[in-house]
Amino acid sequence: MTKQLAKRFGLAVFVLCGFFSGSAALEPPASKTVGNLRSAFNAESNARVRAEASSVKADGEGCHQVASLFRAAAKAEEIHAGIFAGLIRQMGEEPKAFLETPVVLSTKENVESTINTESYDAGVVYLGYIKQAEREGNPDAVRSFRWAEETEKGRVRLFKGALTHLSSRMKGTRDTLVCSVCGLTTEDFSTRRCPLCHVPRGKFILVK
Ligand SMILES: [Fe+2]
Ligand SMILES: [Fe+2]
């Protein structure tokens, strides 16, 4: 090999090495769905704490029916957090939640804030997570995000009803059913099967 050829060969090796090390740096990022599951677990865990605190506040204001609805919401959030935790563990990670002290206002304000938060979570956050999980071909994540999205949409309707009838919902309790599998929350006691995950009525938890 002449000196000239060796020089050119060395340059070619250098360029090729640079190309491959550069392509390693451009590898696709880790699954976004993994990050979304972590965020969802954290959000649902905090939502549970907020709903529990709001139920105590509602009872304190004598608004017992709304307190029942907040208790049902807390149970559903616990179920969602458990589903996300299970998926995170399947990926070999331990789920972590950073629980914040909830802001508790008047019951009317707590209901309004819940309507706003859950509308946004269902209509924006979970829809985005679902689309991403579909792109990544992760059916378990798609299903779990869908359950959370549908539950929150349905619960917005229940909280809107509670807001409309806040003054007439002061006395007694108002029983609610929560599906122990998907978290669906309903006041329809004629339900024979969960409309979301299709388990029989026996899988529903009665929340008073
Ligand atoms: Fe939830
Ligand atoms: Fe269900």
Domain count along the chain:
1
**Beta strand 185-186 pairing with 204-207:** unpaired
Q: Which amino acid type is present at position 78?
A: E
Please tell me the distance between residue 152's alpha carbon and the centre of ligand 1 in angstroms.
6
Q: What is the C-alpha to C-alpha distance for residues 140 and 177, in angstroms, rounded to an integer? A: 24
Separation of CA 32 and ligand 1 centre (Å): 20
**Closest by alpha carbon to 157, among 56, 73, 45, 59?**
73
Q: Considering the domain boundaries, does residue 58 fall inside one?
A: yes
Share the mean pLDDT of the chain: 87
The domain containing residue 132 runs over which residues? 31-170
Closest ligand to 184 CA? 2
Q: How far is 104 from 54, CA to CA, in rounded Å?
A: 6
Taking the model in full, what pTM does it have? Answer: 0.84
Summarize pLDDT for 185-207 with one digit per residue, the tens. 999 999 999 999 999 999 999 99
Tell me if 86 is assigned to some domain. Answer: yes
Domain annotation covers residue 186:
no
Report d(CA 52, CA 58) in Å as an integer.
10
* pLDDT tens-place string over residues 144-169: 999 999 999 999 999 999 888 777 65
For residue 39, the CA-to-ligand 1 centroid distance in Å is 12
For residue 208, tell me if it sits in a domain: no
Q: Grade residue 29 by pLDDT with cuts at 50, 70 and 90.
A: very low
For residue 77, the SS3 value is helix
Residue 170: per-residue pLDDT: 62
Distance 72 CA to ligand 2 centre (A): 14
For residue 19, is it within any domain? Answer: no
Which domain CATH number covers 49? Answer: 1.20.1260.10
What is the arithmetic mean of pLDDT over 108-122? 96
Q: How far is the CA of 74 from the centre of ligand 1 (A)?
A: 8
CA 197 to centroid of ligand 1, rounded, Å = 15
What's residue 169's pLDDT?
Answer: 57
d(CA 185, CA 175) in angstroms, rounded, equals: 11
CA of 190 to the centre of ligand 2 (A): 15
CB proximity list for 58: less than 8 A, separation 6 or greater = 64, 66, 67, 70, 107, 110
Name the closest ligand to CA 181.
Answer: 2
Distance 19 CA to ligand 1 centre (A): 46
Residue 6 belongs to some domain of the structure: no
Domain assignment of residue 83, yes or no = yes
pLDDT given at position 166: 78
Q: Which of 109, 121, 99, 97 is nearest to 54 (CA)?
A: 109
Q: Could you say which ligand is closest to the alpha carbon of residue 203?
A: 2
Q: Is residue 82 part of a domain?
A: yes
47 CA to middle of ligand 1, Å? 7
pLDDT(17) > 90: no
Distance 44 CA to ligand 1 centre (A): 5
* Least confident segment among 16-25, 98-107, 114-123: 16-25
